[in-house]
Amino acid sequence: MSVVRLPRNESAESIVDLIGGTPLIRLGKLEPRPGVEIYAKAEFCNPGGSVKDRAALQMIKDGVAAGALTHDKIIIDSTSGNTGVAYSMVGAALGYRVALVMPANVSAARKQITTAYGTEIIYSSELEGSDGAIRLVRELVDKDPDKYFYPDQYSNLSNPRAHYLGTGREIWEQTGGRVTHFVAGIGTTGTIMGTGRRLKEYDRRIQIVSIEPDDSLHGLEGLKHLPSSLVPAIWQPEGIVDVRMPMPTDEAWDTAEALGHAGLFVGHSAGAAVAGAVRVAKSIPAGERAVVVTLLPDRGDRYFVPLKWEKQYEW
């Protein structure tokens, strides 16, 4: 594997200053033939451990700039995990209280990491998944709008804006403008919308490929099966997304396992993205060159059940 890095601050005033500027890792062993390159953007290198650091910071910064977020309000949103960790980290670093609505069956790691930052968790029904969490957070905000700042990651244009300003620009610079395809999974859809829009502005020929579960009953945490879900308002694929690729859970899990054996321990959504990138790479006609870039949203340990985070824990 080879790595393409961007310059990063050697020192920072705040942990949030280290968000972004993540490296590209070349996945040479997965490349089908010479002339077709595959790279993965290592978003687990963000200080909160995932790509969601970018969107959380942008939504909070823009909320402060607009006067919608003040220190007497609580940041609240629905999340199945990584965005919640990002809100919690950024909120703690900048001095804002955070409350999160999560499905009751979200991984223990996500629950314990967020509470370690001092975040309050409000549980929604595990039977209703992420859509149930969305409905509950909207009810809470409607009942007491002055109490909360509700970024609403599924509707907030600051979500894709984070990737328009950061991720898309970084990929273009790191590939020296050679990128031909960008492949990413869709959850809130902010990553692919913002990154795709920026890359299309650089070169309309760049192909943007979205990866989504092939079934409503899937095992790809963080990804949305849009036909059976509440569709995020920021999902506006016309003119940006060229291909929508359904991904089976087994293929994504197998790819994540293969990446781990190659030294990259990532989550199953990353496995789905890389599996999609490999499919795209294999589809490139003979004799044509391509630079396929995908994105690794987080690390695999985010899906483990960790040790209890309690001061008075009896072993």
Please tell me whether residues 222 and 243 are part of one structural domain. yes
Tell me what pLDDT residue 171 has.
98
| Inside any domain, residue 298 | yes
| Inside any domain, residue 211 | yes
Please tell me whether residues 38 and 115 are part of one structural domain. no
DSSP for 110-175, written as a single string: HHHHHHHTT-EEEEE-TTSHHHHHHHHHHHHHHH-TTTEE---TTT-THHHHHIIIIIHHHHHHHT
Token pair 């963080």 in the structure block, residue:
222
The mean of the pLDDT values for the chain is 91
Please tell me whether residues 22 and 96 are part of one structural domain. no
| Inside any domain, residue 313 | no
> Alpha helix (H) ranges present in the chain?
52-65, 82-94, 108-116, 129-143, 158-162, 168-174, 190-202, 249-261, 268-282
Query: Final residue of a domain: which of 129, 149, 169?
Result: 149
Residue range 127-160, pLDDT digits in tens: 888 789 889 999 999 999 999 999 999 999 999 9
Please tell me whether residues 44 and 66 are part of one structural domain. no
| Inside any domain, residue 115 | yes
Please tell me whether residues 208 and 260 are part of one structural domain. yes
Residue range 49-63, pLDDT digits in tens: 999 999 999 999 999
Q: How far is CA 176 from CA 93, 163, 169, 182, in A?
A: 34, 18, 11, 14
Please tell me whether residues 67 and 41 are part of one structural domain. no
Asked if pLDDT for residue 315 goes beyond 90, the answer is: no
Tell me what pLDDT residue 275 has.
98
The DSSP bridge partners found for residue 144 are none
CA dist., res. 207 & res. 195, Å (int): 12
| Inside any domain, residue 97 | yes
**How much is the pTM?**
0.91
Choosing from 50, 80, 88, 269, which is the catalytic residue? 269
Tell me what pLDDT residue 301 has.
83
The total domain count for the chain is 2
Choosing from 41, 52, 111, 224, which is the catalytic residue? 52
Token pair 């690794």 in the structure block, residue:
296
Tell me what pLDDT residue 309 has.
41
CA dist., res. 24 & res. 258, Å (int): 18
| Inside any domain, residue 315 | no
What's the first-to-final CA gap in the chain, in angstroms?
Answer: 41
Please tell me whether residues 218 and 114 are part of one structural domain. no
Q: Provide the residue range defining the domain that includes 10.
A: 3-50+157-302
C-alpha torsion sign, points 126, 129, 131, 134: positive
Please tell me whether residues 252 and 289 are part of one structural domain. yes
Please tell me whether residues 190 and 286 are part of one structural domain. yes
Reply yes or no on whether 73 is catalytic: no
The CATH number covering residue 212 comes to 3.40.50.1100
Query: Final residue of a domain: which of 95, 121, 149?
Result: 149
| Inside any domain, residue 18 | yes
Query: Final residue of a domain: which of 149, 171, 188?
Result: 149
Let me know the angle formed at the C-alpha of 41 by 35 and 44, rounded to the nearest 5 degrees: 150
Please tell me whether residues 294 and 201 are part of one structural domain. yes
pLDDT tier at 304 (50, 70, 90 boundaries)? Answer: low
Close Cβ partners of 203 (under 8 Å, ≥ 6 residues apart):
177
| Inside any domain, residue 68 | yes
Identify the weakest region by mean pLDDT among 228-232, 236-240, 258-262, 284-288.
228-232
Longest CA span, the chain: 63
Please tell me whether residues 257 and 216 are part of one structural domain. yes
Please tell me whether residues 266 and 190 are part of one structural domain. yes
Tell me what pLDDT residue 313 has.
40
Residue range 19-42, pLDDT digits in tens: 999 999 999 999 999 999 999 999
Reply yes or no on whether 52 is catalytic: yes
